[in-house]
Structure 1
Amino acid sequence: MKIQQAATNLTSQHQLREEHIREESLHLWVGEQRPLFADEAMPPATPLDDSTLVELSAQAKARAQAIHRPPSATAEPVDEPAGKEDPKLRTMRLILEALTGKKIELARFSAHDPAQTPATLNRGNNGDENGPAGQGWGMEYDYFAGYHEEETMRFNATGVIRTADAREINFELELILAREFSESTSISLRAGDARLVDPLVINFDGKAIELTEMKFDFDLAANGHQEKIPFVGPGQGFLFLDRNNDGVVNNGLELFGPASGNGFNELRQLDEDGNGWLDENDPLFAKLQAWMKDKNGNDYFLNLATQKIGAILLAPAATPFAMKDGGNALVGQLRESSIFVKENGTVGAIHEIDLAV
């Protein structure tokens, strides 16, 4: 081939994008009741119409204020003589220093009003019957580091070539190269009375409670991060209260348990008449739903009242049982169980399960 004349156009585009993400949080508190920290927000509430407004009795208001009032406390740096540092604090400090590579200074907290502490620390109406006594402090440490890299290159060539033997060659060529790489590291550490991830599960079909091997993305801890969580089996669902009336489950704050570590205790706060049952006497009972999934993983919701459930007993019994997959890996820990009663007199089970996430 002998080129006599040519008109060519060669272009290329190259793009490289790198993204680094690092997030770190540390929460420390004194008392078995975990407070809501400043970096944690409840889902935005939508205005309620008159039909959904609830006027609490004086007894219920006093009970709610006792639960949500955090103990007043001051903090001062820990300045212990050498060798006399509290063993628990020392262990916590060394773990955090190993994880972060930074020097950690802990603070000592002292309550101003000890008389309020028992009401704040009370985990239920029956004291120890609802669980073992806590350690009186808690720590949550979460660390996430992520790196994502994308590179693309596009090469285009077009033109016309004329050869000595009078041939004309029109050509168009495109070449695309692309690659992508991601890596992440996450650390989650809980100590003391740190929050347990334990939503309540309602069992409609009466079969043995089960957790799926398939996992779904959900912000269970209500910290803005999606976690891989197992779901419950067919005929079972997570108990759900649509707190902002948007028709979806936004995060773990709309379930019962993830926010405090005690789902039945959270449910007990809705028992306005204090009879130990959640029933038609309690205004929010009519809003309770079960969050369920079909065989394709799509969400749907069942209202408890429309399913003819008339009451839930708020005094659970301890029912410890490890829930494991085929490889003997822990996927959940059954902690407590209670019952619900249907309008026709039949009885079903409701469970508190710690999810392994």
Structure 2
Amino acid sequence: MTAHPGQIERLAVSSHWDRYGWLMAVVWMIFLAYPVIALLRSGAAQGWIATGWVALIVFAAMYVIGFVRGSRGGGGLGSPPVPGQWTFFAVLVVCAGLSVPAEGPIALSFLPFIMSFASYGLTRAAHWITSVTAVLITAACIFLLPGGTSYFALLVVVTLLGVVNTVSTWLIIRSAQAERLGIELATSEGREALARDVHDLIGHSLTVVQLKSQLAARLVDADPERAKAELAAITALTGEALDAARATVAGARSATLDEQLARSGEALAAGGVALQVEGASDALSPAQALTASWILRESTTNVLRHSAARRARVTVAPGRLVIEDDGRGLDGGETAVSEGSGIRGMRERAAAAGAVFGIGPAAGAGTRVEVRW
């Protein structure tokens, strides 16, 4: 499929996690086979057995729905829980309790689900309280109930699950913290680069303005026409410097990769270049997307200024950003100015983000810019 000017082709679909994340919850439903077997063999009153079946069905539904809500909403694991998650948790606990009269000690099989829900969807305090309580309840059943030692394996499972949940959630939280630090570092480096650019721009412009104003002051009596020309040049120079400073600051506000993809599509379309986008921006982490957005902006400028291209393609994949065009290529276009045209800045920005920057000929014709983490 070919994209026309003014149109950006989106070949990617929604996040795989959004589409298939529910499988992570459903796959564990197999362990509810134990309560099912207990209900089928239960000798309790029919009312309690019916209550047990209803509680089991509600428990399974609430666990899956709550798990998916939490994962898609971004709650838990260091972030505030998604609204309503505490209600889901309470319903899970109540359903497990209502199953006890019909199932007996087998109702302990609900504990691993409740523990995982608290660990991954609620708070760290809820994780610790739920995990410790689950271990104590299981141990109490083993040592206090007649024949309870037959459930010793379940105590091992519950204890190991508590350890696994503790370690895995700690690692996930640390990873998220590292991600945030990476974004803050990239933002800080971007601000420093912006400060340098503005300093160099204004410093150069003010130096020239100072020299021209001194010259105009000397010529105002001896050569009024020449003095007027110098004053006109000062006016033009200050206007250009102001526009350049505004453009530099505005460019630094490009926050997200999605926004930059849209802006690049509009800019290229205005220049008669059709843009095709393959992949989704969420294939990159937030820190990676910040660097990718900046490099995409610079590459778009180069395509418009130097390539004489008719088509461009942006590919976003896990740990990779590729920008290609069908223009004049390395010998006649973008890199004919060596490390100019922002290429040095892109290389430095990629290196600061821990990525490898490469620029070379595209397949067939044109130029290919690639950033790989």
Question: Would the TM-score normalized by the shorter structure come out above 0.5?
Answer: no
Which one has a larger percent strand, Structure 1 or Structure 2? 1
TM-score tier (shorter): under 0.3
Give the alignment's TM-score, normalised by structure 1. 0.22
The structure where helix makes up a greater share of residues is 2
Query: TM-score, length-normalised on structure 2?
Result: 0.22
Structure index of larger Rg: 2
